[in-house]
Structure 1
Amino acid sequence: MSQVIEHNVKAQLITRPPATRPLAATLHYDPADPLAVRILFPSDISLDGGDVAWTFSRDLLDAGLRGPAGEGDVHVWPCGLEQTVIELHAGEGVAVLEFRSADLWGFLRCAYDAVPVGREDAHLDLEEALAALLGNV
Structure 2
Amino acid sequence: MTQPFSSADGTRVAHEVVTYVVVADEPPVSLPAELRYDSADPYAVCLSLGVTSTGTVEWVFARSLLSEGLRRPAGAGDVLVTPPHHCHRHSVRIVLRSRVGIAVLDIATTSVVAFLKKTDMLVRPGTEGLHIDLDRVVAELVAGSE
Normalized against structure 2, the TM-score is what? 0.83
SS in 1 for 2:40: coil
2:101 is matched with which residue: 93, 96, 102? 93
Q: Does 1:106 align with 2:111?
A: no
Q: Does 1:29 align with 2:37?
A: yes
Match of 2:60 in 1: 55
2:79 is matched with which residue: 74, 85, 98? 74
- Of 56-65 and 76-85, deviating more is 76-85
Runs of 5+ in structure 1 lacking a partner?
A: none
Could you tell me how far apart the structure 2 residues matched to 1:76 and 1:17 are? 21
Runs of 5+ in structure 2 lacking a partner?
A: 1-8
State the Cα distance separating 1:18 from its structure 2 match: 4.2
2:12 is matched with which residue: 4, 19, 24? 4
State the Cα distance separating 1:50 from its structure 2 match: 3.9
RMSD between aligned residues? 2.0
Contact persistence 1:43–1:52 (CA under 8 A): no
Could you tell me how far apart the structure 2 residues matched to 1:107 and 1:87 are? 19
Q: Which structure is higher in strand share?
A: 1
Match of 2:49 in 1: 41
Contact persistence 1:14–1:20 (CA under 8 A): yes
SS in 1 for 2:76: coil
